């Protein structure tokens, strides 16, 4: 197992882990795979004590196939930004060609708090939003109010209907991330909710398409292409001419990122009095 496993960089929306590739047998040959885990508690091999989590209980995250022995390996782990600083723990095991796992290597990282450029739990007034006809806020058990496209039942055929935010300033933001909770019941592959962004309210870029059925889930989408600009978001439901369903529900919309205040303006040098001739 590598001895230099550690966090090289911690951001509001992710962590980069580095280590040196070991071989299949010590420093000989190529290992066959990595098992990488993350938790909000320290990760241990074997049985976990109070306040710990075992390697098997920790959440698996993907890592690339091993490179040649001695190569510096890197794994980028995406995180949903949070409004407060937090500590995360990581663990790595190396797998050999017959499936044996190495001893555990662990690391931790302080994840900085994200700044919020936009936050709406949908429970208040609709001032942040422009709904097309049909969209409404409805009560949802355990959540308070949520937005939906078809509050009175199923959406219609041939729908093309949007819920659009006001313009949101991402000035001095980097690593901007859109986070929202959604559930949906849509004809799979034919009826969709398009999550889109625009800097001018006319030309829209697709961020994600949702289709099929899903219970409430948290979605996290990269908005860094819009860092430093004003951006509007919209959730646009489209349907074909047959098979309608219950539609789309939206809650807890946040844009988070790293807020870097602008540098202070340069100070004018003091004026020298004219020299007396």
CATH number at residue 153: 2.60.120.260
**Are 244 and 126 found together in one domain?**
yes
- 251 in the same domain as 133: yes
Asked if residue 143 belongs to a domain, the reply is: yes
Whole-number pLDDT of residue 276: 66
Both 140 and 89 in a single domain?
no
pLDDT at 63: 83
| Rounded CA separation 260/254 (Å) | 18
- Provide the sign of the torsion angle of the four alpha carbons 258, 263, 264, 265, taken in this order: negative
- Three-state DSSP state, 224: helix
pLDDT confidence of 32, banded at 50, 70, 90?
A: confident
- Whether residue 77 is found in the same domain as residue 122: no
- pLDDT one-digit tens code per residue, 191-204: 999 999 999 999 99
- The two structure tokens encoding residue 277: 């001739």
Positive or negative torsion for Cα 74, 77, 81, 82: negative
Of the given ranges (22-26, 164-168, 198-202, 205-209), which has the lowest mean pLDDT? 22-26
- Same domain flag for 255 and 127: yes
Number of domains the chain contains: 2
Q: Residues 112-153: pLDDT tens digits? A: 999 999 999 999 889 999 999 999 999 998 899 999 999 998
Pair of tokens at residue 208 = 């994600």
Q: Are residues 195 and 139 in the same domain?
A: yes
> What pLDDT is recorded for position 28?
53
In a domain, 69, yes or no: yes
Which of the listed residues 68, 94, 113 is the one where a domain comes to its end? 113
Residue 267 included in any domain: no
In this prediction, residue 277 carries a pLDDT of 55
Name every residue whose Cβ is closer than 8 Å to that of residue 267 and which is 6 or more positions away in sequence: none
Residues 124 and 253 in one domain: yes
Quote the CA–CA distance of 68 and 266 in Å, as a whole number: 51
Whether residues 10 and 82 share a domain: the answer is yes
C-beta separation of 202 from 160 below 8 A:
no
Instruction: Give residue 223's pLDDT.
Output: 96
Is 178 a domain residue? yes
Chosen domain end from 96, 113, 130: 113
208, 234: one domain: yes
Whether 271 is covered by a domain: the verdict is: no
In a domain, 277, yes or no: no
Residue 256: its H or E element: strand 247-259
CA–CA separation, 72 vs 74, rounded Å? Answer: 7
Q: Is residue 272 part of a domain?
A: no
Give Rg (Cα) of the chain. 25
Sign of CA dihedral 130, 134, 138, 143: negative
> Are 233 and 121 part of one and the same domain?
yes
The token pair at 113 is 């708090």
Indicate if 215 and 185 belong to the same structural domain.
yes
Give the tokens for residue 196: 């889109």
Quick: pLDDT tens for 36-76. Answer: 999 999 999 999 999 999 999 999 998 888 888 888 999 99
Distances from the Cα of 11 to the Cα of 15, 37, 42, 170, 257, angstroms: 6, 18, 20, 17, 9
Looking at residue 78, its pLDDT comes to 87
Please provide the average confidence, as pLDDT, over all residues in the chain.
Answer: 91
Question: pLDDT tens for residues 173-184?
Answer: 999 999 999 999
Judged against a pLDDT cut of 70, whether residue 29 lies above it is answered with no
Between 64-68, 89-93, 162-166, 273-277, the lowest mean confidence (pLDDT) is in: 273-277
DSSP string for 51-110: T-EETTTSEEE--PPP-STTPEEEEEEE----SS-EEEEEEEEEE-TTS-B---EEEEEE
The reply to whether 251 and 121 lie within a common domain is yes
Write down the residue that tokens 């939206």 correspond to.
250
User: Is 22 domain-assigned?
Assistant: yes
Number of residues that make up the chain: 277
Q: What is the CATH number of the domain that holds 105?
A: 2.60.40.2550
Q: How many CB atoms lie within 10 A of CB 7?
A: 17
pLDDT bucket at 15, cuts 50 / 70 / 90: very high
- Residue 27 pLDDT grade (very low, low, confident, very high; cuts 50, 70, 90): very low
Residues 210-269: tens digit of each pLDDT: 999 999 999 999 999 999 999 999 999 999 988 888 899 999 999 999 998 777 777 777
The yes-or-no verdict on residue 99 having pLDDT over 90 is no
The range of the structural domain enclosing residue 216 comes to 117-259
Structure tokens at 252: 């807890």
Residue labelled with tokens 């209980």: 57
């Amino acid at each position: 197992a590598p001895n230099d496993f550690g966090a090289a960089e911690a951001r509001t929306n992710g962590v980069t882990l580095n280590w040196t590739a070991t071989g299949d047998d010590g420093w000989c040959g190529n290992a066959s795979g990595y098992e990488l885990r993350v938790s909000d508690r320290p990760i241990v091999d074997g049985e976990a004590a109070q306040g710990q989590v075992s390697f098997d209980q920790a959440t698996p995250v993907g890592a690339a196939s091993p490179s040649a022995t001695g190569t510096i390996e890197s794994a980028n782990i995406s995180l949903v930004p949070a409004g407060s600083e937090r500590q995360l723990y990581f663990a790595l095991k190396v797998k050999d060609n017959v499936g044996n796992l190495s001893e555990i290597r662990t690391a931790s990282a302080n994840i900085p708090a994200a700044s919020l450029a936009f936050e709406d739990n949908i429970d208040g007034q609709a001032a942040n939003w422009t709904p097309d006809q049909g969209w409404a806020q409805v009560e949802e058990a355990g959540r308070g109010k949520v937005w939906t496209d078809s509050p009175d039942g199923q959406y219609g055929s041939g729908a093309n209907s949007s819920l659009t935010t006001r313009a949101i300033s991402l000035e001095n933001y980097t690593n901007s991330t859109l986070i929202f909770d959604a559930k949906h019941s849509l004809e799979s592959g034919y009826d969709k909710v398009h999550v889109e962004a625009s800097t001018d309210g006319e030309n829209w870029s697709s961020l994600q398409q949702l289709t099929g059925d899903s219970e409430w889930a948290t979605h996290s989408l990269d908005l860094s292409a819009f860092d430093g600009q004003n951006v509007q978001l919209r959730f646009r439901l489209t349907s074909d001419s047959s098979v309608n369903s219950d539609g789309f529900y939206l809650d807890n919309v946040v844009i988070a990122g790293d807020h870097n205040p602008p540098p202070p303006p340069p100070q004018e040098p003091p004026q020298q009095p004219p020299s007396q001739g």
